[in-house]
Amino acid sequence: MQLWFMTGNKGKLLEAKHAFSPLGFNVEQFVINGTIPEIIEPQCDTLEEVADAKITQGIELLKSIGKESDALLVEDSGFFIDALGGFPGVYSAYVLEKIGCEGVLKLINSLESLNASFRASACLWDGNIIHRGSGICPGKLVDSIRGVNGFGYDPIFTPFDYLNNSINGLTFGEVEIGIKENFSHRKKALDEVLLSLNNTTN
């Protein structure tokens, strides 16, 4: 099945390909005339609202090129620091662009708890209806930038799961994509989307 992913983030695209390709999906970046379409990301309080705004605009764009029966994926995600009331959360892309991981490490210098989480909300248009999924990856900030893998906040975050399994304090930047997938908020959100898709098609 052909699946367009409307994202400007190559890291997200790679992870969606890694998760979906073994299941027979051909995941490609959604472009129109070779360009990633411009969309308006509204300033909302939740990732779900932003993901909904992305899929609504994406479906309209598919319609505008006569491809509304194609499948389209969008996802909104963020990094939530517990001791900062969830900040940067829905502002994660902006904060990363402005101060980077180095700036975030300065911000957390005097915090008592370094607990944080990644969260993702995904929507998949199957040509007919929208399937939704969400995922959380709990973990902790580390005190320095470590590793070159992944993207975004990956080099300053080490995950654990609900059974307290960890990757020995390694950051997402220090592990391969297949290991990140075992903990990833994105993989959980995509799994939920797939479950919903399978429930409607079976």
Q: Is 8 in the site for ligand ITT (CB under 6 A)?
A: yes
Nearest-approach distance from CB 199 to ligand ITT, in angstroms: 25
Q: Is 103 in the site for ligand ITT (CB under 6 A)?
A: no
Looking at residues 147 to 186 of the shown chain, list those that interact with ligand ITT (rule: CB under 6 A).
150-154, 186
Nearest-approach distance from CB 122 to ligand ITT, in angstroms: 10
Nearest-approach distance from CB 6 to ligand ITT, in angstroms: 7
Q: How far apart are CA 124 and CA 25, in angstroms?
A: 13
Q: Is 30 in the site for ligand ITT (CB under 6 A)?
A: no
HEC secondary structure over the chain: CEEEECCCCHHHHHHHHHHHHHHCCEEEECCECCECCCCCCCCCCCHHHHHHHHHHHHHHHHHHCCCCCCEEEEEEEEEEEHHHCCCEECCHHHHHHHHHHHHHHHHCCCCCCCEEEEEEEEEEECCCCEEEEEEEEEEEECCCCCCCCCCCCHHHEEEECCCCCECCCCCHHHCCHHHHHCCCHHHHHHHHHHHHHHHHHC
Q: Is 76 in the site for ligand ITT (CB under 6 A)?
A: yes
Of 138 and 152, nearer to ligand ITT (C-beta) is 152
Taking CB under 6 A as the binding criterion, the range among 4-12, 19-27, 100-108, 139-147 that sits at the site for ligand ITT is 4-12
Nearest-approach distance from CB 54 to ligand ITT, in angstroms: 7
> Is-catalytic flag, 154?
no
Q: Is 91 in the site for ligand ITT (CB under 6 A)?
A: no
Of 147 and 197, nearer to ligand ITT (C-beta) is 147
Q: How far apart are CA 163 and CA 20, in angstroms?
A: 25
Q: Of residues 45, 70, 76, 82, which has the active-site annotation?
A: 76
Task: Give the binding site for ligand ITT (CB under 6 A).
Answer: 7-9, 12, 75-79, 92-93, 96, 118, 150-154, 186
The residues annotated with a catalytic role in the active site are: 76
